[in-house]
Amino acid sequence: MADDSDSSRSNAHGEIMRATYRALRDHGYANLTIKRIAEEYGKSTAAVHYHYDTKDELLAAFLDYLLGRFKDTVHEVEIIDPERRLDSLLDQLLIEPNDHRDLLIAMLEMRSQAPYREAFGERFRGSDAYVRYILRTVIEQGVAAGAFDDVDVDHAARALMTVVVGAQTRDAVLNDDESDAFETARRLADEYVSAVLIDDDSGAN
């Protein structure tokens, strides 16, 4: 059956994910329905249910999709210098949301449901772990190259992750036009890198 081929399955997957993105952004998590996703998809709810049994299953796939997209952008970066690479990674993680602020709010709603929905909890823990892994890798390279001090790399990655999550959560509550959340976090991350990772007084040991 042509419709069951891998490529048509994967096209449908991508289209449903993009439809979910728009539906989440416009309606938030609490008011999201398969019907609304199907409307964005331009097909019937049955066509969505053919791929995903439940809304939560679809949303777990959506969290995988977002993490996959983030991984792609990370892998595209070709900067080798560790200090500049960390800077570029922090830019990616702490970019002002602007046009996807509503998606961030929906993500916070899903995050707050993680303790009640194991499939969500698993994904948020997975993305926390992945972002920390990438941060750790870049910082380790910097330590090896002598660009950063011989710091506790695992802690430094967790610390920067805390800054990222803090920005996302503060931004969701502050008013759009006066939110300092991402600007503050980006500056804090810079201060952390300059003052803690790079200590001009002592070389890496």
Where do contacts with a second copy occur on this chain (CB under 8 A)?
28-30, 105, 108-109, 111-116, 121, 124-125, 128, 155, 158-159, 161-170, 172-175, 180-181, 184-185, 187-188, 191-192, 195-196, 201
Query: With respect to a second copy, which residue has the nearer C-beta, 86 or 185?
Result: 185
Nearest approach in angstroms of CB 142 to a second copy is: 17
Identify which of residues 45 and 184 has a Cβ nearer to a second copy in the complex: 184
- Give DSSP secondary structure letters for the chain: -GGGSHHHHHHHHHHHHHHHHHHHHHHTTTT--HHHHHHHHTS-HHHHHTT-SSHHHHHHHHHHHHHHHHHHHHHH----SHHHHHHHHHHHHT---GGGHHHHHHHHHHHHHTTT-HHHHHHHHHHHHHHHHHHHHHHHHHHHTTSS-S--HHHHHHHHHHHHHHHHHHHHHS-GGG--HHHHHHHHHHHHIIIII--TTS---
Q: What are the Cα distances from residue 174, in Å, to 46, 98, 181, 182, 183?
A: 38, 13, 8, 11, 13
CB of 135 to a second copy, least distance (A): 12
Of the pair 50, 124, the CB lying nearest a second copy is at 124
* Shortest distance in whole angstroms from residue 72 CB to a second copy: 23
Minimum Å gap between C-beta 89 and a second copy is 17
- If the CB atoms of residues 81 and 199 are measured against a second copy, the closer one turns out to be 199
Instruction: State the minimum distance, in angstroms, from the CB of residue 43 to a second copy.
Output: 28
Q: Which is nearer to a second copy, 13 or 55 (CB)?
A: 55
